């Protein structure tokens, strides 16, 4: 019997609704497999600003540090969006959480589901059988570099830095993942222009001999942005820095047919965090139309992380069953009108 | 009678072949409309390194400064690609040329051609009638910021800076373009993370009242990378900084059905430069399979720039005629086997 403490950060918008269904599924897993999962709810994002003035209250951060895993819904509220220069914003909480928890690797699987091929803007024959895993560096680069304005306010700067050590730790993870998959790793960079990219290339090249079974290649980010659409099946594991990863992983999400299908894991040396890649989708809040599958699949990644692959596969099979039975939210099938809760309950029941 | 001096930089790989056809078309325009175009050929890129040691010889730079326009083929050779840290690389010539000529705005139209819808990886009904114009800032940002290594070589940095003046000059151009089109301008940035993006947003917002007929909106770059694929018709004019523009304009090229269809113009306060967005495609060199249309459409943009809209429209009509008659290179129709030269001659003849 496994006993685990999971901190849940429902966040804003549809975050609480999708988290509720993922927790429902995790409870079903605990019941069926005889584990004990304890769920501990905390504030982060706009709701935390409203309640405490801070997007990441210390109480929340402490709880995350002590947890075995963190499940996050989504953060963000339009009232903070209109002024990106506002002194306190929900995103700051997320960025600080990543940094404080040392979540240096964001892992996003991108899969073309057979049942959803018609929903993608891409032609079915181009994307069928796509199965890629994107490793995005998450605690370095331009996101966390020095930034500011000149004294007169008329110019601004953002500094991007990377150290060999920062590159090495995520690179080892990406190579190891490739070893368990199709043995192909692609580094996406802009080494023809950026010094940080040249350091990435150098460092990754130096580690490659430790993984002789993995074929390593390189793609400039502009070309990668094309190739991901032209021929996504060519990719197995993609490794890239923070900002490029933000852009190309969101771009690649179009392959899945719905943003509501894409999970992610953020891992480091201690506690790991799991969240759907979609945002807080404020327009859908409270309407019961949010797709909970991205969060449920994030919970499956959490189970993998706990060393419970059978449990994780059971959740993924239950999701496949829901897709097969067309028990899906309206963006995937406007005719059937299943709610967020109905989809979540169906999947939990199938576990 | 108009007399103009055009510097041609054929460059590397397929560059000379596609330039030859664009020059053929420009000569046909000169004949038909009674202008005088003088073509002056110079070295840039890998061929210039081979011949002179420098990717941008002073002779070439001087000629460009004195020209009325520059037509560029493509640069880059695999022998310089494998080592992005090599002391001299073809790209350095291109970056220096942009900076020296003050080419601060790179303008890329992205069009879905009805004849080529089936060639795009995107579903035809998603892209049909797409017509967007991307303004990419080209002489600032992380491309030209300070870059380097720490003393021990174990960390690298790239600095991104923008001044209000740099943002304003391209913003005015983008607003003016929107005024002549569908009156919609989208600024793509990452203002929730970057200080430079916040300066972009502030500056663009401040200029907006000067263009009351244009609707201005904002998109974070990760979301833009999705929206360009999900619903490209929503865009009219897109404005963005150098690195984001590099990525999203290459991404958007998938809409056209072939990289070989996409032209660009780079403009500033003095001489302007016109080039296809594709690279030097070394594998195709000398085979007669390179599509010359991107370069021919770049020549049409050059004619617009000379204040010759009728001539430019004539070239675009001739290209449409070639598409209608399926006189295209093999990537667009493997059956017909037209060569680069046959496609160029057909279009020149149709002018
Ligand atoms: C909200 C934002 C700061 C964040 C990021 O850019 O990392 C988001 O886009 C993501 O990818 O998780
Ligand atoms: C070759 C490279 C330096 C260049 C760039 O990144 O600007 C190219 O990708 C382009 O878009 O013209």
Domain boundaries, chain B: 1-101+270-351, 105-262
What does the pLDDT read at residue A85?
Answer: 65
| Neighbouring C-alpha atoms within 13 Å toward the C-beta of A22 | 38
Put simply, the answer to whether B230 touches A121 (Cβ < 8 Å) is: yes
The protein residue with its alpha carbon nearest to ligand 2, atom 10, reads: B246
What does the pLDDT read at residue A87?
Answer: 79
- What is the DSSP-derived secondary structure letter of residue B145? S
| SS3 per residue for B34-64 | CCEEEEEECCCCHHHHHHHCCCCCHHHHHHH
Mean pLDDT of B177-204: 97
What does the pLDDT read at residue B337?
Answer: 87
Ligand nearest to the CA of B77: 2
Length of chain A: 351
Minimal-distance CA residue of chain A relative to B90: A192
What does the pLDDT read at residue B85?
Answer: 66
What does the pLDDT read at residue B134?
Answer: 98
A236 is catalytic: no
Q: Which residues of A touch B223 (CB under 8 A)?
A: 250
Put simply, the answer to whether B159 touches A160 (Cβ < 8 Å) is: yes
Element (H, E) at B71: strand B69-74
- Integer angstrom CA distances of residue A246 from A40, B238, B349: 29, 19, 47
Of B144, B149, B91, B92, the C-alpha closest to A200 is B149
Distance CA B298, CA B264 (A): 6
Q: Which residues contact B220 (CB under 8 A, 6 or more apart)?
A: B188, B189, B190, B191, B192
Residue B1 banded pLDDT, cuts 50, 70, 90 = confident
Interface test with A, best of B118, B229, B245 (most A CBs within 10 A): B229
Distance CA A200, CA A168 (A): 9
B117 Cβ under 8 Å from any chain A Cβ: no
Minimal-distance CA residue of chain B relative to A253: B226
Strands A69-74, A3-11: pairing is: parallel
- Integer angstrom CA distances of residue B112 from A76, A133, B45, B102, B115: 35, 30, 31, 30, 9
The protein residue with its alpha carbon nearest to ligand 2, atom 11, reads: B246
Catalytic residues of B: 143, 190, 222, 246, 250
Query: Which residue in the set A89, A147, A247 is minimally distant from B221, CB to CB?
Result: A247
Which CATH class name applies to A106-148+160-261? alpha beta
- Check the annotation: does A269 bind a ligand: no
Q: Cite the beta strand spans of chain A per DSSP E.
A: 3-11, 36-41, 69-74, 105-111, 131-137, 147-149, 155-163, 184-189, 215-220, 237-240, 263-267, 272-276
Distance CA A225, CA A248 (A): 6
Distance CA A18, CA A295 (A): 6
Minimal-distance CA residue of chain A relative to B125: A121
In a mutational test of the pocket of ligand 1, which residue from A44, A74, A75, A94 has the highest number of ligand atoms less than 8 Å from its CB?
Answer: A94
| Neighbouring C-alpha atoms within 13 Å toward the C-beta of A124 | 7
Q: Which residues of B touch A89 (CB under 8 A)?
A: 192
Ligand nearest to the CA of A84: 1
CB–CB of A106/A274 below 8 Å? no
Counting Cβ atoms within 10 Å, is residue A314 exposed (0-12), middle (13-18) or buried (19+)? buried
Q: Which residues of B touch A144 (CB under 8 A)?
A: none
Full pLDDT tens readout for chain A, 351 residues: 899 999 999 999 999 999 999 999 999 999 999 999 999 999 999 999 999 999 999 999 999 999 999 999 999 998 887 676 677 889 999 999 999 999 999 999 999 999 999 999 999 999 999 999 999 999 999 999 999 999 999 999 999 999 999 999 999 999 999 999 999 999 999 999 999 999 999 999 999 999 999 999 999 999 999 999 999 999 999 999 999 999 999 999 999 999 999 999 999 989 999 999 999 999 999 999 999 999 999 999 999 999 999 999 999 999 999 999 999 999 999 888 899 999 999 999 999
| CB of A246 closer than 6 angstroms to any ligand 1 atom | yes
Residues of each annotated binding site of B: 98, 108, 136, 222, 246, 250
The catalytic residue among A143, A162, A281, A338 is: A143
| The residue to which tokens 């501990």 are assigned | A40
Strands B155-163, B147-149: pairing is: antiparallel
| Neighbouring C-alpha atoms within 13 Å toward the C-beta of A264 | 27
Put simply, the answer to whether B254 touches A193 (Cβ < 8 Å) is: no
| The residue to which tokens 């969060």 are assigned | A295
Residue B84 banded pLDDT, cuts 50, 70, 90 = low
A246 is catalytic: yes
Put simply, the answer to whether A162 touches B155 (Cβ < 8 Å) is: yes
Distance CA B261, CA B277 (A): 9
B7 CA to chain A: closest CA distance, Å? 26
CB–CB of A264/A298 below 8 Å? yes
User: Which tokens sit at B34?
Assistant: 């009674």
Query: Which residue in the set B198, B243, B248 is minimally distant from A156, CB to CB?
Result: B198
- What is the DSSP-derived secondary structure letter of residue B305? H
CATH 3.40.718.10, domain B1-101+270-351, yes or no: yes
Minimal-distance CA residue of chain B relative to A258: B230
Distance CA A288, CA A330 (A): 10
In a mutational test of the pocket of ligand 2, which residue from B15, B91, B282 has the highest number of ligand atoms less than 8 Å from its CB?
Answer: B91
Gap from CA of A203 to ligand 1 centroid (Å): 26
| CB of A168 closer than 6 angstroms to any ligand 1 atom | no
Contact residues, A window 268-307, toward B, CB-based 8 Å cutoff: none
Query: Which residue in the set A85, A192, A226 is minimally distant from B91, CB to CB?
Result: A192
Query: Which residue in the set A149, A229, A251 is minimally distant from B121, CB to CB?
Result: A229
Element (H, E) at B136: strand B131-137
Put simply, the answer to whether A158 touches B247 (Cβ < 8 Å) is: no
Q: Which residues contact B330 (CB under 8 A, 6 or more apart)?
A: B289, B336, B337, B338
The reply to whether A1-101+270-351 and A106-148+160-261 are identical in fold is: yes
Helix (H/G/I), strand (E/B), else coil: A215: strand
Which residues surround ligand 2 with Cβ inside 6 Å? Answer: A 192-193, 222; B 91, 94-95, 246
Cβ atoms within 10 Å, residue A283: 10
What does the pLDDT read at residue A64?
Answer: 98
CATH 3.20.20.450, domain B105-262, yes or no: no
- Integer angstrom CA distances of residue A128 from A232, A235, B316: 9, 13, 36
Distance CA A214, CA A180 (A): 10
What does the pLDDT read at residue A86?
Answer: 74
Helix (H/G/I), strand (E/B), else coil: A44: coil
Q: Which residues of A touch B148 (CB under 8 A)?
A: 195
The angle formed by the CA atoms of residues B40, B46 and B52, to the nearest 5 degrees, is 70
| CB of A91 closer than 6 angstroms to any ligand 1 atom | yes
What pLDDT, in 10s, does the model give residues B212-225?
Answer: 999 999 999 999 99
> Counting atoms of ligand 1 from 1, which one is nearest the CA of A264?
12
Residues B141-170: b if buried by 16+ CB within 10 A, e if exposed: bbbbbebeeeeeeebbbbbbbbbbebbeeb
A143 is catalytic: yes
- Beta carbon pairs, A and B, within 8 Å: 173
The protein residue with its alpha carbon nearest to ligand 2, atom 2, reads: B91
The model carries a pTM of 0.96
Strands B147-149, B131-137: pairing is: unpaired
- Which residues sit opposite A21 in a β-bridge? none
Counting Cβ atoms within 10 Å, is residue B90 exposed (0-12), middle (13-18) or buried (19+)? buried
B118 CA to chain A: closest CA distance, Å? 10
Residue B78 banded pLDDT, cuts 50, 70, 90 = confident
What does the pLDDT read at residue A211?
Answer: 98
Put simply, the answer to whether A160 touches B164 (Cβ < 8 Å) is: no
């Amino acid at each position: 019997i496994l006993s685990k403490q999971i901190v849940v950060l429902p966040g804003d918008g549809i975050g609480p609704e999708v988290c509720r269904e993922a927790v429902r599924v995790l409870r079903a897993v605990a019941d069926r497999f005889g584990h004990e999962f304890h769920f501990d709810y905390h504030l982060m994002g706009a709701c935390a600003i409203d309640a405490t003035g801070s997007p990441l209250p210390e109480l929340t951060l402490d709880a995350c540090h002590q947890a075995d895993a963190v499940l996050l819904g989504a953060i963000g509220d339009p009232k903070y969006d209109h002024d990106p220069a506002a002194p306190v914003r929900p995103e700051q909480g997320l960025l600080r959480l990543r940094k404080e928890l040392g979540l240096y690797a964001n892992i996003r699987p991108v899969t073309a589901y057979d049942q959803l091929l018609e929903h993608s803007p891409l032609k079915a024959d181009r994307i069928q059988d796509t199965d890629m895993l994107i490793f995005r560096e998450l605690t370095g680069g331009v996101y966390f570099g020095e930034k500011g304005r000149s004294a007169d306010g008329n110019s601004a700067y953002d500094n991007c830095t990377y150290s060999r050590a920062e590159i090495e730790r995520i690179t080892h993870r990406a190579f190891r993942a490739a070893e368990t998959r199709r043995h192909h790793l692609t580094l996406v960079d802009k080494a023809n222009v950026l010094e940080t990219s040249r350091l990435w290339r150098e460092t990754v090249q130096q580690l490659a001999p430790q993984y002789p079974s993995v074929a390593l290649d390189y793609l400039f980010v502009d070309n990668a942005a094309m190739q991901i659409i032209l021929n996504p099946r060519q990719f197995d594991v993609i490794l890239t820095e923070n900002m490029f990863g933000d852009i190309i992983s969101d771009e690649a999400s179009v392959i899945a047919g719905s943003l509501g299908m894409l999970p992610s894991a953020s891992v480091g040396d201690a506690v790991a965090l799991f969240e759907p890649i979609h945002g807080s989708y404020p327009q859908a809040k409270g309407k019961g139309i949010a797709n909970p599958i991205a969060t449920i699949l994030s919970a499956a990644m959490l189970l993998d992380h706990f060393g419970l692959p059978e449990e994780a596969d059971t959740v993924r099979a239950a999701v496949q069953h829901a897709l097969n039975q067309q028990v899906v939210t309206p963006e995937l099938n406007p005719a059937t009108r299943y709610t967020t809760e109905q989809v979540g309950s169906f999947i939990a029941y199938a576990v």
